[in-house]
Amino acid sequence: MTTVALVLFYLFFPAAAVYLAGRYSVFNKLGAVVICYIAGLIVGNLGMIPAGLATLQNLLMLITIGLALPLMFFSIDVRRWSRLAGKSLLSFGVQILSILIVAAAGFFIFRAAVGGESWKMAGMFVGVYTGGTVNLGAIATALRADQTLYLAAHTSDVLVSSLYLLFLMTVGRKALELFLPSFTAAGTSPAAKEQDFNSYAGIFAGQTMVGLAKALGLAVLIFAAGGLAFLAFSEDAAFVVAILAISTLGILFSFIPAVRNIRMTYQLGNYFILIFCLVVSSMADFNRLVATAPVMLAYVAFTVVACLLLHVALARIFRIDADTVIITSVAGICSPPLVPLVASALHNRELVLSGVITGIIGWVVGTYLGIAMAYILRWASA
């Protein structure tokens, strides 16, 4: 495969993954992210990538995550936070506190098995279990995490999170109601306008394309502004500063209605995340991934289960109901797109809006918290 062919593969295969996930049920169950991971592993481990392209691949990773962050943040309406139900915001705060404590504990438990990158893994877990994949990718890029460990962590997360969702949508409510009060409908919540975060339908409409072109242009300018960090800091520090600067500018521009109201900026940002996943997986060593997987699977399982148990224990103190804990936990552990699915399984649509918004809060704060936690643990273990 030539260099040009590889770049074209990186840029356009995610479109095929999105099509397959939307067209066929078997691929829909896997999801576009997993499809990209599998394709990247196949291409990267069958000798199809020319030697000496690590610099190009690292550059693509930085560009794609650098464009994805502002595009996904543009659609955030920060002012809606003030309208959140108090219990939902409190429960999500408990979720964040829980993952911070559990990530720190997991670092000390698993650092001997994981090795020198364990402080980075702890920070990545804070990010992914506060918001989602966008945080995981941003923190991995900022900290320059090992690609194979990143893939092992994300693959383990997909498996554990799937089992976690199955538990919550079947017996989770009954289990949590043994310790927490049942949900009481207020009857005054605003109607939740559910968003299909995974739908790209209508993205090629003329007006939508014009808006997205403007949003992409603004994202490129934000990326360039973040890139100035490489002129002022050492390489390792510059990655961190650039990611934080890009995140901050993306959030600030979301306050401008003309930017915030551009349709489908989230979907375009998510497409860049798919490219990022494809590049990362193509750089991973499959043999090392298999060897690392059992430890990482245990690490991820410990993190998710311990986080839920601590969340429930603290929610009991604050008298937070079981449904609110489930919805806000899903918003953090699994990200906002899955909130409507779980709310439907609980037959409780009243919590959809607050669940989605708390998950978006997780997107915003996850990168900052994850990077901070990583460096705190690095300093503590020095």
| Tens-digit pLDDT profile for residues 280-307 | 888 877 777 778 888 999 999 999 999 9
Q: What is the mean pLDDT of the chain?
A: 86
Angle at which helix 133-143 crosses helix 235-253, to 10 degrees, equals: 150
What is the reported pLDDT for 221?
96
Whether 303 is covered by a domain: the verdict is: yes
Q: Where are the alpha helices (DSSP H) in 168-234?
A: 173-176, 206-227, 229-232
Number of domains into which the chain is organized = 1
Does the structure show a pLDDT above 80 at 340? no
Query: Is residue 191 assigned to a domain?
Result: no
Residue 92 in domain = yes
Mean pLDDT, residues 13-39 taken together? 87
Residue 189 lies in a domain: no
212 in a structural domain: yes
| In a domain? residue 142 | yes
List for the chain the helix, strand, coil content (%; round to 5): 80, 0, 20
Q: What is the mean pLDDT of residues 354-376?
A: 88
Confidence band for 78, pLDDT divided at 50, 70 and 90: low
**Which has more confidence, 356 or 138?**
138
> How far, CA to CA in Å, does 261 sit from each of 28, 174, 213, 215, 255?
28, 40, 14, 10, 10
In a domain, 195, yes or no: no
For residues 304 and 101, give the distance between their C-alpha atoms in angstroms, rounded to a whole number. 12
Residue 290 included in any domain = yes
Host domain of residue 112: 3-183+203-380
At 126, give phi and psi (nearest 5°): -60, -45
pLDDT at 192: 43
pTM above 0.85, yes or no: no
